[in-house]
Amino acid sequence: MGIIARVGRPNVGKSSIFNRLLGRRESIVDDFPGVTRDRLYGEMVWNEHRFYIVDTGGIMGEKEAALPEIAGRIAAQVEHALSESDGVVFVLDGHDGVTVMDEEIAAMLRRAGRKVVVAVNKLDNPEKLDAAYEASALGFEKVLPLSAVHNFNMGDLLDEMVSFLPDEGSFEESEDVPVTIVGRPNVGKSSLLNVLAGEERSLVSEIPGTTRDVVDSIVEIEGTRFRFLDTAGLRRKSRVDTDVEYYSNVRSYQAIDKCRVAIVMLDATELVTDQDKRLVGQVLERGKGLLIVVNKWDLAPKDEKVGDRMRAKLKDEMPFAAHAPMLFMSALTKRGISRLNQRILSVDLNRRARISTSELNRLVREVLAFERMPGDKGRYLKISFCTQANGVPPAFVFFVNDRNLVTNPFERRLENILRKMGDFSGVPLRLFFRNKQ
């Protein structure tokens, strides 16, 4: 599909336009300059044209940037976005008029040789529309006054964007496997994504919290298309001290909702924390497939049995996720990464695994006949029938004489039996009990 990039100075409203076009809050919007650092992709359909729009970080000079290193890398991300785009929306702030930085960006766009529409944003008042004429001095043919907040001229902007797209050829629909990468700050999530994508899609830095938004990348590995979503590092709520970081956490949980398989990344030098346990619990609670990846294996103690000890410790610390497959790897040295795609596909397949009704009822007749059934005041639980419901994750419905007699230990025992009957590694199971009548 075609790609339209969106560029401009910080705080001119690029992310607001991005969110307005997508019809949802996909990019974080805040009054603090430089909130968007990575380039973000959103998929759109307008007048039967399907294409990607890209939100990029605000271009700033080193003097304006609090972190000059970050400013330079944002510029590199913008350059990359321009190199792969079919057209560009150059966003200006209608309140500020044309600035020196705008003129420098305009020169960069002319060198890139891309089709450009200048979008003069924040023109909420008709009396301010004259600001759009000033932007014509930048030398681009198409200039649009608009307001992302009030949805003014957004349809015209989309028409211009569609005019930049190449003629569409045949497009073969294929199902991507959505995979979300989550974990604490600085465990190597962005490094893993960049290795998989073969390019620097997410900013990688030793400064925790470099990734603020969810970064979406489609990567084909051995014939299978994966859609990887790299998320901001999740910290405890007590340590979330800014609105931007709070919304980064919200985006991360939304990204978990979008995926079929979540990779929870741990740090081999600090194996498991309470935050890791909560994060794994959230993945399973949301019904997603779970793959635990222990990164920075190159920094682990050089001991033949260190892997066995770590595996045992993880199962001991997180017994509720003992069924999840584990992969020890290093994004730096690329050790273990070749096995990642097969582990993901295996977990994804397990989410759709089924056990036949006849097998389930053999479980009821034979296995449970030897169990001591829970009871209360002389009444004991009786199971008449069991079936697997449609959908994911796997859900099993037991018809019983009184569901109030079911205890948590008995439910866990049933889950363990079901896991032995089928391969549900990395998959949460849902058990429901209904009164027979």
Q: Any idea which of 65-74, 102-111, 355-364, 405-414 has the lowest mean pLDDT?
A: 65-74
Beta carbons within 8 Å of 81's beta carbon, 6+ residues apart: 3, 5, 7, 39, 54, 56
**pLDDT number for residue 200:** 60
Greatest Cα pair distance in the chain: 89
Mark whether 9 and 75 lie in a shared domain: yes
Query: Residue 181: is its pLDDT beyond 50?
Result: yes
Mark whether 203 and 335 lie in a shared domain: yes
Query: Residue 73: is its pLDDT beyond 70?
Result: no
**8 Å CB contact between 405 and 363:** no
Residue 149 belongs to what domain range? 2-163
Query: Residue 19: is its pLDDT beyond 50?
Result: yes
Give the integer Cα–Cα distance in Å for 53 and 27. Answer: 12
Mark whether 340 and 365 lie in a shared domain: no
Query: Residue 98: is its pLDDT beyond 50?
Result: yes
Most confident of the following: 13-17, 158-162, 320-324: 320-324
Q: pLDDT tens digit string along 305-332?
A: 888 999 999 999 999 999 999 999 999 9
Percent of the chain's residues with pLDDT above 70: 80
Mark whether 389 and 279 lie in a shared domain: no
Query: Is 31 within a domain?
Result: yes
Split at pLDDT 50, 70, 90, the class of 46 is: confident
The larger pLDDT score, comparing residue 82 to residue 341, is at 341
Mark whether 393 and 308 lie in a shared domain: no
Q: Indicate which CATH number applies to the domain containing 370.
A: 3.30.300.20
Mark whether 333 and 407 lie in a shared domain: no
Query: Residue 101: is its pLDDT beyond 50?
Result: yes
| Chain position carrying tokens 């949460």 | 428
Domain count, the chain: 3
Give the integer Cα–Cα distance in Å for 365 and 389. Answer: 20
Mark whether 118 and 236 lie in a shared domain: no
**pLDDT number for residue 240:** 46
Average pLDDT over residues 271-282: 88
Give the integer Cα–Cα distance in Å for 40 and 51. Answer: 13
Average pLDDT, the chain: 81
Mark whether 187 and 295 lie in a shared domain: yes
Mark whether 270 and 288 lie in a shared domain: yes
The larger pLDDT score, comparing residue 90 to residue 113, is at 90
Q: Any idea which of 235-239, 242-246, 339-343, 429-433 has the lowest mean pLDDT?
A: 242-246
Split at pLDDT 50, 70, 90, the class of 97 is: confident
Split at pLDDT 50, 70, 90, the class of 364 is: confident
Query: Is 171 within a domain?
Result: no
Mark whether 216 and 118 lie in a shared domain: no
Split at pLDDT 50, 70, 90, the class of 217 is: confident
| Chain position carrying tokens 């992969």 | 327
Query: Residue 127: is its pLDDT beyond 80?
Result: no
Query: Is 238 within a domain?
Result: yes
Beta carbons within 8 Å of 56's beta carbon, 6+ residues apart: 5, 6, 7, 14, 36, 39, 74, 77, 78, 81
Going from the C-alpha of 345 to that of each of 52, 75, 422, the distances in angstroms are 26, 36, 16
Query: Is 168 within a domain?
Result: no
Q: What predicted TM-score, i.e. pTM, was given to this entire model?
A: 0.61
Residue that terminates a domain, selected from 141, 163, 185: 163
Token output for 183: 């974990």
The larger pLDDT score, comparing residue 119 to residue 125, is at 119
Query: Residue 107: is its pLDDT beyond 90?
Result: no
The larger pLDDT score, comparing residue 111 to residue 277, is at 277
Split at pLDDT 50, 70, 90, the class of 398 is: very high
Residue that terminates a domain, selected from 163, 187, 210: 163
Mark whether 23 and 123 lie in a shared domain: yes
**pLDDT number for residue 387:** 93
Query: Is 20 within a domain?
Result: yes
Residue that terminates a domain, selected from 115, 134, 163: 163
Most confident of the following: 4-13, 292-301, 365-374: 292-301
Q: Indicate which CATH number applies to the domain containing 274.
A: 3.40.50.300
Query: Is 409 within a domain?
Result: yes
**8 Å CB contact between 433 and 400:** yes
Average pLDDT over residues 250-260: 76
Query: Is 308 within a domain?
Result: yes
Query: Residue 59: is its pLDDT beyond 80?
Result: no
**pLDDT number for residue 213:** 56
Mark whether 249 and 388 lie in a shared domain: no
Average pLDDT over residues 260-289: 90
What amino acid is encoded at 384 in this protein? S
Query: Is 172 within a domain?
Result: no
**pLDDT number for residue 21:** 83
**pLDDT number for residue 270:** 87
